[in-house]
C-alpha cells in the first residue's frame, strides 16, 4: 500500500520549483521596475486565488465576495500608511492638522476611535489578519449554522460585497469615499515610493506568497483537507460521520478571507493606494475568474491564473480597451464549459502524461545517473 507522506509529490515539487525560479530569479532579472511592480500587483490576487482554491475548489463554497476581505486587509494597511503620512508637520495647512486629508475635507475634527489603533504598526499587522478573519467568521457562522449553502451563499457574499462598496463610498469622512485612501508615503519611516522600495516589496510579497502556498498545502494534506473534499460531495455523510459540517465550512471561509486580506495589504503597499473599486462585485468576480482559469483545484494553478489573466488584461486593455471585458467574460465561459479544472487541468491531462512518459523512458535506460536518484523515493 502506498501512502504518500511527502509534503509535495513529484509534479507538485516541479510546480513549486518552477514557480520559485520564475518569481525569485527570472522575473526580477528580466523585467524593469515598472513591469516588476505590475507583476507584484498581479500576484496580490494570487493570495485571493489560493484562498479560493481551499474554500471553493476543495470545500465547494463559492464566495463571490472575496473583494471584501481583500479590501479589509488593504484598508487596514492603507490607514496605517495614511496616518503616518498625515503627521502634524505634513498637514499643517488643514483646519485640523494631524488627521488624514479626506477627513479634514469632510469636516471631521478628530480621528474616529476605530482608526486610532492604526497608529501602531504591530496592531495594524494583527488587524490585517484579525479584522477579515472575524468578519468572515461572523458571516460563516450566521450562514453555515443555518445550512445556507451553494448558490444562496454565493449570492449573499455578492450582496455583502455590494453593501461594503456602498458603505465605503457613502462614509467619505471615515473611509475616503470613492477615491479611497491615497497619497501613501512611508511604512514605518521607510519610503515605499522609490524604485528600490518597490524592488524590496516585490520580494517580501513573493516570500509571503510562498508562505501562503505552503500553509495552504499543509491544510490540504491534513485530514481537514480531505474532509473539505468529502463535504463538497456528500455533506450528509460527513455530518453522519460525526463532524459538524458548519464548523469546517467556517474554517475554510475564514482561511480564504485571511489569505485574501494578506493579498489586499500587499496590494496597498505595491500600488500605493486602496479604493472601493477593489472591494465590490466586479473585482470579486474577477478574482473568482483568475482562480477558475488557473484551476480551482490547484494552488499553483491559482497563482498562474492570476498572473496570466492579469497580464493579458494589461496588454489587451492597452490595445483594445473596449474589447477586454468581453474577452474576460468569454474566457470565463470557455473555462467553465470546456475546462472545468482550468489551466492546471489542461496541464495534468495533456502535458503531464508526456513528461511522465519521458521520465519513464529515461529511467528505463540502464546506467543513467538519474535512474537511481529517481527510483529511490518512489518506494
Partner 1 sequence: MLIGHQPKDFLLAVSGLTVSFDGFKAVNDLSFYVEDNEIRVIIGPNGAGKTTVLDLICGKTKATSGSIQFRGQELTKLRENEIVQAGVGRKFQTPSVFEDLTVFENLEISFPRGRTVFGSLTFQRDAAVKERVEEVAEMIFLKDRLDTYADQLSHGQKQWLEIGMLLIQDPDLLMLDEPVAGMSVSERAKTAELLNRIIKGRSVLVIEHDMKFVEDIAHKVTVLHQGQILSEGTMEHVKNDPKVIEVYLGH
CA 193 to chain centroid: 23
Q: Which is nearer to partner 1, 122 or 242 (CB)?
A: 242
Q: Which is nearer to partner 1, 223 or 365 (CB)?
A: 223
Min separation Cβ 247 and partner 1, Å: 5
Q: Which is nearer to partner 1, 53 or 230 (CB)?
A: 230
Integer Cα distance of 185 and 14 in angstroms: 39
Min separation Cβ 125 and partner 1, Å: 23
Q: Which is nearer to partner 1, 210 or 243 (CB)?
A: 243
Min separation Cβ 43 and partner 1, Å: 27
DSSP 3-state assignment of 274?
A: strand
User: Widest CA span of the chain, in angstroms?
Assistant: 82
Q: Which is nearer to partner 1, 171 or 234 (CB)?
A: 234
User: Could you say which DSSP state residue 25 is in?
Assistant: I
Min separation Cβ 216 and partner 1, Å: 13
Q: Which is nearer to partner 1, 70 or 253 (CB)?
A: 253
Integer Cα distance of 75 and 171 in angstroms: 14
Footprint on this chain of partner 1 (rule: CB under 8 A): 1-3, 219, 222-224, 226-227, 229-230, 232-234, 236-245, 247-248, 250-251
Min separation Cβ 143 and partner 1, Å: 16
Burial level of 77, CB count in 10 A (0-12/13-18/19+)? buried
Integer Cα distance of 238 and 222 in angstroms: 16
Min separation Cβ 229 and partner 1, Å: 5
Q: Locate cell 484598508: which residue?
A: 75
CA torsion through residues 186, 207, 221, 357, sign: positive
Contacts of 220 (CB under 8 A, 6+ apart): 54, 58, 299
Amino acid at each position: 500500500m502506498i501512502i504518500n507522506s511527502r509534503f509535495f509529490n513529484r509534479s507538485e515539487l516541479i510546480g513549486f520549483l518552477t514557480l520559485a525560479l520564475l518569481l525569485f530569479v527570472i522575473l526580477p532579472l528580466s523585467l524593469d521596475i515598472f513591469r516588476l511592480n505590475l507583476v507584484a500587483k498581479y500576484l496580490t490576487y494570487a493570495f485571493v486565488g489560493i484562498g479560493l482554491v481551499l474554500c471553493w475548489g476543495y470545500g465547494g463554497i463559492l464566495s463571490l465576495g472575496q473583494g471584501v476581505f481583500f479590501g479589509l486587509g488593504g484598508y487596514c494597511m492603507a490607514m496605517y500608511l495614511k496616518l503616518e503620512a498625515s503627521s502634524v508637520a505634513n498637514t499643517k495647512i488643514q483646519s485640523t492638522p494631524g488627521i488624514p486629508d479626506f477627513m479634514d475635507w469632510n469636516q471631521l475634527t478628530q480621528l474616529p476611535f476605530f482608526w486610532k489603533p492604526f497608529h501602531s504598526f504591530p496592531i495594524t499587522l494583527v488587524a490585517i489578519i484579525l479584522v477579515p478573519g472575524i468578519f468572515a467568521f461572523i458571516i460563516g457562522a450566521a450562514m453555515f449554522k443555518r445550512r445556507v449553502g451553494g448558490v444562496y451563499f454565493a449570492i449573499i457574499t455578492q450582496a455583502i460585497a455590494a453593501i461594503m462598496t456602498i458603505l465605503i463610498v457613502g462614509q467619505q469622512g471615515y473611509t475616503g469615499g470613492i477615491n479611497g485612501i491615497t497619497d501613501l508615503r512611508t511604512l514605518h519611516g521607510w519610503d515605499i515610493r522609490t524604485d528600490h522600495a518597490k524592488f524590496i516589496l516585490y520580494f517580501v510579497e513573493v516570500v509571503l506568497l510562498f508562505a501562503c502556498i505552503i500553509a495552504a498545502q499543509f491544510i490540504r494534506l491534513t485530514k481537514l483537507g480531505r474532509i473539505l473534499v468529502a463535504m463538497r460531495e456528500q455533506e450528509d455523510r460527513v455530518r453522519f460521520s460525526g463532524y459538524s459540517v458548519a464548523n469546517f465550512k467556517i474554517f475554510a471561509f475564514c482561511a480564504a478571507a485571511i489569505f485574501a486580506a494578506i493579498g489586499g495589504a500587499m496590494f496597498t503597499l505595491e500600488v500605493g493606494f486602496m479604493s472601493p473599486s477593489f472591494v465590490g462585485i466586479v473585482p470579486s468576480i474577477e478574482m473568482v475568474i483568475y482562480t477558475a482559469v488557473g484551476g480551482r483545484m490547484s494552488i499553483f494553478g491559482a497563482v498562474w491564473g492570476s498572473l496570466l489573466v492579469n497580464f493579458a488584461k494589461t496588454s489587451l486593455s492597452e490595445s483594445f480597451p473596449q474589447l477586454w471585458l468581453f474577452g474576460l467574460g468569454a474566457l470565463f465561459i470557455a473555462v467553465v464549459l470546456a475546462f472545468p479544472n482550468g489551466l492546471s487541468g489542461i496541464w495534468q491531462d495533456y502535458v503531464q502524461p508526456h513528461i511522465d512518459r519521458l521520465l519513464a523512458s529515461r529511467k528505463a535506460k540502464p546506467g543513467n545517473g538519474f535512474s537511481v536518484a529517481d527510483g529511490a523515493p518512489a518506494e
